[in-house]
Amino acid sequence: AQKVTQAQTEISVVEKEDVTLDCVYETRDTTYYLFWYKQPPSGELVFLIRRNSFDEQNEISGRYSWNFQKSTSSFNFTITASQVVDSAVYFCALSEGDGANNLFFGTGTRLTVIP
Amino acid sequence: DAGVIQSPRHEVTEMGQEVTLRCKPISGHDYLFWYRQTMMRGLELLIYFNNNVPIDDSGMPEDRFSAKMPNASFSTLKIQPSEPRDSAVYFCASSLGGGRTEAFFGQGTRLTVV
């Protein structure tokens, strides 16, 4: 079974629209870590955010915000007022347990922002 | 710090040849990871090191793959002999605290085996 599910394979929005990328995870551990990475067309993986399982506070960073809800095992990512530079593939990832080191990645959501 | 540095950026080789991918992690990071990205399988962990010691190589697909970390600033991933199905983007990443902290990725090596 997939530990991280990103059900949206591709999303297209018009510039300045808001967009939410969904991430649902599955784990039996009480301690775990969630991440979002961005992969622009140039190919590198860029770290965006990390959250541990004990911190359910939502976070905002500029136009980016993240909604972590343990009750629904979701860690969704919203981009407000999208821009063309936001076009990329976005990956959600999970690391389980305090001693585990493997990052389980979702299959990614390809976001295209149309000017 | 320049970040994680991988070389080469692109590699085209013939089936059966040996391929060596190189990685320099961020200084001070105790963990080094090798990932492979393909369309079919997405991003998958091949192996990771902690303080230069291989900890988990269960993701290495077969004996043709080997990885070493002779010191804290250098790691290699070797494929011998290479096969067309090894064509993928190989990423190296490093982190301070393993899975508890964010991993910083190199720009990747795009390997094509013909």
| pLDDT (tens digit per residue) in A20-73 | 999 999 999 999 999 999 999 999 999 999 999 998 888 888 999 999 999 999
Torsion angle in degrees (nearest 10) through CA of A32, A65, A93, A48: -110
Does the distance separating the beta carbons of B93 and A33 come in below 8 Å? no
Put simply, the answer to whether A103 touches B103 (Cβ < 8 Å) is: yes
Helix boundaries (H) for chain A: none
Query: CB-based contact (8 Å) between B94 and chain A?
Result: no
Residue-level pLDDT at A1:
60
Distance of CA B38 to the CA centre of its chain: 14
- Do residues B20 and B68 touch, judged by C-beta distance below 8 A? no
pLDDT of A76 strictly over 90: yes
**Residue tagged 């911190």 (tokens):** A55
pLDDT at B43: 94
Residues of A in contact with B55 (CB under 8 A): 101
Mean pLDDT for all residues in chain B: 95
Tens digit of pLDDT for each residue in B39-55?
A: 999 999 999 999 999 99
B67/B34 Cα distance (integer angstroms)? 9
User: Do A95 and B99 make contact, defined as CB atoms within 8 angstroms?
Assistant: yes
Size of interface A-B (CB pairs under 8 A): 59
Q: Which pLDDT does position B1 carry in this prediction?
A: 62
- Cβ atoms B9, B111 nearer than 8 A: no
Q: How far is A113 from chain B (nearest CA, A)?
A: 22
Torsion over CA of A78, A33, B59 and A7, rounded to 10 degrees?
-30
Q: What angle do CA B45, A104, A107 make, to 5 degrees?
A: 100
- Chain centre distance of CA A34: 8
Q: Where does A18-96 have alpha helices with state H?
A: none
Out of A33, A43, A108, name the one closest to residue B100 (CB). A33
